[in-house]
């Protein structure tokens, strides 16, 4: 069995990058490139540390990070292995030369917002629903959610997002949209001003406007929402700090602190949509904004991206007094989360099936993301490629007219930045989702995009 002894691992003590981060990056790249194949055994941390002449801590930290990302898996009593996948990594085909358009035989969906639902643990799924089916139907839905599920979600948030809360801080929702609507009902009144990121998630604008609020667009840059200049009279600000939608920025710690200082000084509530927080590549996770100031932040999460949109389970984390107000509103409106679905999700969490699914999908999505980066990176600037299930291919304004339609004619569905802006479109490009298409389809779709970008760049040069 091959080990790392035969591979040219090279670490530099002169680099500003810590040795553990260098080793993490090297191993991740080796697994992406296929140099380390799924199922292969890695040396022990002690053995690799001796080979590289570094402390064992360096290797241990690298292994732990790759375990967390889903690249590695442990087998009791036998060591550390490259995580196995259900499908092999296809050979990378060279990009073909530009070709004339032809009618597409099939459609490849590269729009954002949908995860991969075809590969799942069928045994775990059936087990969860069998257990839910064994329980009698409830006669009075709990507006807070099942107590046992609230306990499990609190534990999940502690492990996955460094959020320390008890079940009294967790309310089970039907997803992010439902959580947003409940926040709007509890925190906003007619004419109240609610800030949304611009460009940003259009559902937030729709929900706030439907509840009678005045929607205020708040500009974002490549790092996330711009704190300087936020209006002082906002009652609520909706933000996606883990992976801004659609630009993909990760709000830095310094700006998070400024945002919370703004909220404390104005009395505003920050509604944090923990969008795509579970999926990250090449970077360590940032803690949830909620953990920095639970008094000013409401945290929303959902299983629609981590497991499947069809589940219809999410969570809202906040102070007990806010949850009491929201629970009363739910009773008045007849709003509820399905009891059997909550029981099934509780089983998935309790048995560790959801954690295993997340580890497996982190690796799967990393492979897809790498194809997009390798194919389109040389042609345009990519934003937001360190996390989540989508990235932004930034393009010149003159390249954009008709680009989405041209891709559709060649069988590739794309999204652009245009529909995500509330006002003036300050940035242009394609919002490319890699959750719902197979690796082979993503490879083909990226070649179509690359051809279109190349063709348009050539036409632009000829016209100058």
Report whether pLDDT(294) > 60: yes
Q: Are residues 431 and 325 in the same domain?
A: no
Name the residue with higher pLDDT: 54 or 454.
454
3-state secondary structure of 9: coil
- pLDDT value of residue 52: 83
pLDDT tens, residue by residue, 365-404: 999 999 999 999 999 999 988 888 999 999 999 999 999 9
In DSSP notation, 240-267 reads --SS-TTT-----HHHHHHHHHHHHHHT
Going from the C-alpha of 48 to that of each of 12, 21, 54, 80, the distances in angstroms are 16, 15, 8, 12
The last residue of one of the domains, among 294, 319, 352, is 352
CATH for 384? 3.90.1150.10
Domain count, the chain: 3
DSSP string, 199-224: S--HHHHHHHHHTT-EEEEEEEETTE
Does residue 97 have a pLDDT over 50?
no
Same domain assignment for residues 270 and 405? no
Is 297 a residue whose pLDDT tops 80?
yes
- Does 91 fall in a domain? no
Let me know whether 161 and 145 are in one domain. yes
Whole domain around residue 287: which residue ranges?
127-352
Query: Domain check: are 380 and 342 in the same one?
Result: no
Distances 76 to 43, 47, 80, 81 between C-alpha atoms, Å = 15, 18, 9, 11
pLDDT bucket at 77, cuts 50 / 70 / 90: low
The answer to whether residues 324 and 377 belong to one domain is no
H or E segment and range at residue 33? helix 19-33
Burial 322-343 (b: 16+ CB within 10 A, else e): bbebbbeebeeeebbbbbebbb
Segment 132-140 shows an average pLDDT of 89
Q: What percent of the chain has pLDDT over 90?
A: 60
- The DSSP code for 407 is H
Q: Is the pLDDT of residue 282 over 90?
A: no
pLDDT confidence of 69, banded at 50, 70, 90?
A: low
pLDDT over 50 at 349, yes or no: yes
Q: Residue 95 falls within a domain, yes or no?
A: no
| pLDDT at residue 203, as a whole number | 92
Residue 97 covered by a domain: no
Least confident stretch, 90-99, 175-184, 260-269, 381-390: 90-99
Is residue 428 in some structural domain? yes
| Closest-CA residue to 406 (of 441, 442, 453) | 453
| pTM score, whole prediction | 0.77
The DSSP result for 267-285, as a single string, is TPEEEEE-TTTT-BSSSPP
Query: Within this chain, do residues 286 and 420 fall inside the same structural domain, yes or no?
Result: no
92 pLDDT higher than 70 = no
Do residue 133 and residue 31 come from a single domain? Answer: no
Please tell me the distance from the alpha carbon of residue 145 to that of residue 27, in angstroms, as a whole number.
42
Q: 312 and 230 share a domain?
A: yes
We report the CATH number of the domain holding residue 47 as 1.10.10.10
Mark whether 321 and 404 lie in a shared domain.
Answer: no
Q: Check the CA dihedral 193-194-199-205 and report its sign.
A: negative
Average pLDDT over residues 141-161: 94
Predicted confidence band of residue 40 (pLDDT cuts 50, 70, 90)? confident
Residue 268 pLDDT > 80, yes or no? yes
Residue 99 within a domain: no
Do 160 and 266 belong together in one domain?
Answer: yes
Structure tokens at 235: 């009652």
Alpha carbon distance, N-terminus to C-terminus of the chain? 58
Give the three-state DSSP class for 165.
Answer: coil
Q: Where is pLDDT greater, at 24 or 315?
A: 315
| Res. 124: pLDDT tops 90 | yes
Q: Looking at residue 85, what is its pLDDT?
A: 53
Residue at which a domain ends, from 352, 385, 409: 352
Residue 88 forms part of a structural domain: no
Q: How confident is the model at residue 31 (pLDDT cuts 50, 70, 90)?
A: confident
| 182: pLDDT strictly greater than 90 | yes
Regarding whether 307 and 187 lie in a shared domain, the answer is yes
Domain end marker among 326, 352, 378: 352
Residue 456 lies in a domain: yes
CATH number of the domain to which 147 belongs = 3.40.640.10
160 and 240 share a domain? yes
- The Cα 325–Cα 144 span in angstroms is 11
On the question of pLDDT at 339 being above 50, the answer is yes
**Which of 134-148, 325-339, 415-429 is the least confident region?**
415-429
Which pLDDT belongs to residue 10?
74
Between strands 236-239 and 193-198, the pairing is: parallel
Indicate whether 362 belongs to any domain: yes
pLDDT of residue 36: 81
Per-residue pLDDT, averaged over 433-440, amounts to 93
Instruction: Name the pLDDT band for 101 (thresholds 50, 70, 90).
Output: low
Residue 447 CB neighbours (<10 A) = 20
The continuous run of DSSP H or E covering 196 comes out as: strand 193-198
């Amino acid at each position: 069995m091959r080990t790392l002894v035969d591979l040219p691992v090279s670490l530099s003590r002169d680099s500003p990058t810590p040795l553990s981060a260098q080793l993490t990056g090297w191993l991740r790249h080796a697994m992406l490139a296929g140099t380390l194949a799924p199922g292969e055994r890695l040396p022990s941390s002690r053995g690799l540390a001796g080979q590289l002449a570094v402390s064992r801590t360096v290797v241990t930290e690298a292994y732990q990070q790759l375990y967390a990302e889903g690249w590695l898996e442990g087998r009791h009593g036998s060591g550390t292995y490259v995580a196995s996948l259900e499908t092999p990594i296809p050979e990378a085909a060279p990009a073909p030369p530009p070709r004339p358009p032809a009618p597409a035989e099939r459609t490849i969906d590269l729009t954002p917002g949908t995860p991969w639902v075809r590969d799942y643990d069928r045994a775990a799924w059936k087990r969860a629903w069998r257990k839910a089916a064994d329980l009698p139907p409830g006669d009075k839905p709990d507006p807070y959610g099942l107590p046992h599920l609230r306990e499990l979600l609190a534990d999940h948030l502690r492990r996955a997002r460094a959020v320390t809360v008890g079940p009294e801080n967790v309310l089970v929702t039907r997803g992010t949209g439902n959580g947003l609507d409940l926040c709007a009902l509890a925190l906003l009144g007619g004419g109240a001003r609610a800030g949304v990121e611009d460009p940003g998630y259009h559902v937030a604008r729709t929900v706030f406007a439907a509840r009678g609020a005045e929607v205020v667009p708040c500009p974002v840059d490549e790092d996330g929402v711009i704190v300087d200049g936020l209006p002082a009279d906002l009652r609520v600000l909706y933000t996606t700090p883990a992976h801004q939608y659609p630009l993909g920025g990760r709000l830095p710690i310094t700006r998070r602190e400024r945002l919370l200082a703004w909220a404390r000084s104005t009395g505003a509530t920050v509604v944090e949509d923990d969008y795509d927080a579970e999926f990250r590549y090449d970077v360590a996770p940032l803690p949830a904004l909620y953990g920095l100031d639970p008094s000013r932040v409401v945290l929303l999460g959902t299983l629609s991206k981590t497991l499947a949109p069809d589940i219809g389970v999410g969570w809202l984390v906040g102070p007990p007094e806010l949850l009491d107000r929201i629970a009363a509103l739910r009773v008045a409106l007849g709003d509820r989360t399905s009891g059997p679905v909550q029981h099934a999700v509780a089983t998935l969490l309790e048995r560790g099936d959801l954690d295993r699914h997340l580890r497996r999908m982190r690796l799967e999505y990393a492979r897809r993301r790498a194809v997009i980066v390798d194919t389109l990176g040389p042609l345009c600037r990519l934003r937001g490629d360190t996390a989540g299930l989508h990235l932004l291919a930034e393009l010149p304004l003159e390249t954009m007219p008709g680009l989405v339609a041209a891709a559709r004619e060649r069988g590739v569905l794309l999204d652009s930045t245009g529909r995500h802006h509330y006002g003036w479109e300050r940035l242009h490009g394609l919002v490319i989702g890699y959750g719902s298409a197979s690796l082979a389809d993503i490879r083909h779709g990226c070649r179509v995009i690359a051809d279109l970008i190349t063709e348009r760049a050539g036409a632009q040069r000829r016209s100058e």
